[in-house]
Structure 1
Amino acid sequence: MSAAVGYRGGIIQVFTKGFANVSSGSKVGASTPFRIGSVTKVFSAILVLQAASAGMIHLDDPVAVAVPDFSVFNPFGSGLVTWRQLLAQRSGLQREAPFGVNSTDEALWAVAKTFLLRAPGGKPSYSNLGFALAGNLVAERVVGAGHTFTSLVQAWIIEPLGLSHTGNVYGPGTPAGLAVPYQANGDPSPFYDLGWVGPAGSMYSSPSDLVSLASALMQAAKGQGPLASRIRQDIAAAFMDPDYRNPDGLTLFGWPWEMRVAGSFLLRRKGGNIPGSTALISFVPELETAVAVTWNGGQDEFTLATEAWGAFLPKFTQALAALQPSPFRPGPRYTDYVGLYSFRGLLNATVLFDKASGSLVASVQGVISIYINDASAITGWPDTFQAYLPDGLVPCLSAELQAIGDEYFFFNRGQGGPVTSMVVPGYMPGLVFRRVV
């Protein structure tokens, strides 16, 4: 197996274990390509998104607008299959391509003689046929110019992203070092040629390349990165979103993501299986991080993915929090504010630093102590603090603090830079406490 973890467009770590080829003793390396099965559907979807971004098609148009000889009998009414429905597994098409189909012309002729299993736009119904049509039709009928699915993926995705261990061309020595697929009993699995159905599951890749692909998609949703000029930002952002939510509240479907809720996050993920090989691509746009794993043997990739993210996410988010301290903490310059303040000698206030909470504490005449945290990064105003309720306070003090709400404390500096005064306009309006010590 091989796994890669990415963050903000880079690769954090690559893990490898075991053999790419047991007979030769060749071990899996960081760049070893594996067959990725249905993860190929992500590449097919990206081709459709690029064609839509270029104005060649519209996602909500019936496929027949761009491909007039596409038709299928709809026993549920007059609805027509759209490009978006193909990507979302909601076309209603049968799962597999008609037997013996070897070309797009043959597929269109055969599909025209079949009927939909579900109404277009209804509940998801997994269809390899739908993605075979999407990838082949975009390449051959929409873009044309002699393109095939393989050549268009090369030109529109692999080359722009520099995916050096990804492709769809097989032959003697191609790709070099391809991990041998193995059956559950350890015997090599025969090579499985998908032929015309290739856009649904025929490609190979490495986890690092898959992480780079996921990173480029997340960047495109922000109008950034190597795909930003190829996929419109609104389309790339919609590509991250669920298209259908299951009643269980945990699993959702996208284009063609098989999503799952993990704690506070929604994992966008796609698994792939082809005899003897398994692959998974998964990512969390909100954290700008991705995980991809490949195996040359049958695995339950989704159970493993749930376990892997369950172990990874808590520590990862803790690490991010440590790298980016809370903007509500005063930091190492708390001494700038500590001292005695007075209003005309009639009313005194002190500001101390409480090590236990890591906060400043403002006390007026010793009557009430108010915990305050640096809110400058939030408000955009320097030397601004906000009252808050720390955990573990006795009820009476909690009640006092609750009474003043989220009051602001403003510190002012003189020309030389030191803090010279403090005002609390909402708590003691009009009073300016000059710093004494």
Structure 2
Amino acid sequence: MREYSGRRLLSSGRQHGGRRRAAAFAVGVAVVGMTTGLAAPSGAFAAARPDAAQQGLDALVRDDGMPAALATTVDRAGRTRTYTAGVGDLATGSKVPRDGQVRIGSNTKTFTAVVVLQLVGEGRVGLDATVETYLPGLVRGDGIDGRRITVRQLLQHTSGLPEYEGDVDGAILQQRYLEPRDVLDIALRHKADFAPGTNWAYSSTNYVLAGLIVQKVTGRPLAEEMDRRIIKRIGLSHTYFPAPGDRTIREPHPKGYRQDTAGAPLRDVTDIDPSSAWAAGQMISTNSDLNRFFTALLAGGLLQPAQLAEMRTTVPIGDTGAGYGLGIISRPLSCGGEYWGHGGDIPGYETRGGATDGGRAVNVAVTSIPADAAGTRHIESVVDAALCR
């Protein structure tokens, strides 16, 4: 679920719960590349001159040991291309479904932030109101007081709230269902990281509280509000928030894998209970739907201008050149400019990507969390190369 450790640019650059596992697994399979929206080039030409996205996916499978890699790109003219590499199922060797569904981890945070900011635009939530205003008496702990933490600080990870993921790593793989309040209780056992507003540190606990605020203010489940306010509004036909107890992925998808210890075989973790991720990382989508979402968001299709401007006001993420806004991240491009997105991971899947103000968009997914920070940087390099081509 996590996107950044605060020291390096990665989504949980570690396995869920803060423990990354080695994923050096040589996949001896043919690489499959596909395109949509354009006529496919001849086999000889494609083999001789694959473009940046296909080359990047090939390398993720060949060099980083990813069982599968998927990407969807949108160029300045609005043309879409879809790519795959590797295999969708290691047991059968089946092809990777084109634009298959994956668990999108912390990209969910951007959806949650959009709903909160829509409520801000409606005058129902105040960005600088305290958590106590909406959840009285709920947030108390060692150095933690909901009367001192604002909604803005939740969305921007400047609240100082401690992370809970390391304590639920086993739950998500053992198919244990956790209510949001259960997750919050786990987080509040820990001491605050810092006083609110004095620093920045990524913590999914912030978004559990943001989701609870949405439910308190609207009187409706978070999943229903996301569906009504975002998914149906902009036509994300392959995106959904799994219902309680739903451990499957509905549509065609590549299987997700995890390596528990160095040297151990990859095991199938496709079907899990994602409830502990909730507002911070529970959703399922496709690369093409994520492109549509981030493009619509930047174009003003989901937020009023004032709230979009607030969302895009960032704080630095260390010395990386990236900045964290309200549930969205700006990253510099090697060719100049920047793109906006989030990224995320959850056992079995890691996603990276985003969109530019000029309408370009790229999202990449792989079917195992990379073994180290370098692996995540390789995925981000594919995004950069595809956006800059």
Q: TM-score, normalised by structure 1?
A: 0.62
2:87 to 19, 25, 29: 19
Tell me the C-alpha RMSD between the 2 structures.
3.0
Deviation per CA, 1:372-429, whole angstroms, max 9, x where unpaired? Answer: xxxxxxxxxxxxxxxxxxxxxxxxxxxxxxxxxxxxxxxxxxxxxxxxxxxxxxxxxx
Secondary structure in 2 matching 1:20: coil
Instruction: State the aligned residue count.
Output: 302
Residue equivalent to 1:323: none
User: Does residue 203 in structure 1 map to residue 283 in structure 2?
Assistant: yes
Residue equivalent to 1:265: 337
Contact 2:363/2:383 (8 A) holds in 1: no
Residue equivalent to 2:155: 87
Amino acid at match of 2:282: S
Contact 2:71/2:99 (8 A) holds in 1: no
How far off its partner does 1:216 sit? 0.7
Contact 1:19/1:25 (8 A) holds in 2: yes
Greater Rg by CA? 1
Secondary structure in 2 matching 1:37: coil
Structure 1: distance between partners of 2:73 and 2:94 = 23
Contact 1:260/1:268 (8 A) holds in 2: yes
How far off its partner does 1:175 sit? 0.8
Q: TM-score, normalised by structure 2?
A: 0.69
Secondary structure in 2 matching 1:17: strand
Structure 2: distance between partners of 1:275 and 1:43 = 20
Secondary structure in 1 matching 2:71: strand
Contact 2:74/2:80 (8 A) holds in 1: yes
User: Does residue 212 in structure 1 map to residue 284 in structure 2?
Assistant: no
How far off its partner does 1:279 sit? 0.9
Amino acid at match of 1:293: V
Contact 1:8/1:288 (8 A) holds in 2: yes
Structure 2: distance between partners of 1:235 and 1:116 = 28
Structure 2: distance between partners of 1:129 and 1:77 = 14
User: Does residue 155 in structure 1 map to residue 190 in structure 2?
Assistant: no
Percent identity for Structure 1 against Structure 2: 26
How far off its partner does 1:62 sit? 0.7
Structure 1's unaligned 5+ residue stretches are: 316-437
Contact 1:4/1:11 (8 A) holds in 2: no
Deviation per CA, 1:189-217, whole angstroms, max 9, x where unpaired? Answer: 26332325411112111000000001111
Structure 2: distance between partners of 1:274 and 1:61 = 31
Residue equivalent to 1:345: none
User: Does residue 165 in structure 1 map to residue 238 in structure 2?
Assistant: yes
Secondary structure in 2 matching 1:2: strand
User: Does residue 60 in structure 1 map to residue 136 in structure 2?
Assistant: no
Contact 1:181/1:275 (8 A) holds in 2: yes
Cα distance change on mapping 1:188 and 1:78 into 2, 3 Å:
closer
User: Structure 1 or 2: larger strand share?
Assistant: 1
Structure 2: distance between partners of 1:172 and 1:246 = 33
Matches within 5 A, 1:166-185: 166-169=239-242, 171=246, 174-184=249-259, 185=265
How far off its partner does 1:160 sit? 1.0
Structure 2: distance between partners of 1:40 and 1:218 = 16
Cα distance change on mapping 1:149 and 1:20 into 2, 3 Å:
farther
Secondary structure in 2 matching 1:92: coil
Residue equivalent to 1:275: 347
How far off its partner does 1:137 sit? 2.8
Secondary structure in 1 matching 2:241: coil
Structure 2: distance between partners of 1:20 and 1:165 = 18
Residue equivalent to 2:19: none
Higher RCO, Cα 8 Å, sep 6+: 2
How far off its partner does 1:309 sit? 4.5
Matches within 5 A, 1:278-357: 278-285=350-357, 287-299=358-370, 302-315=376-389
Structure 2: distance between partners of 1:298 and 1:259 = 22
Amino acid at match of 2:344: G
Amino acid at match of 1:93: L
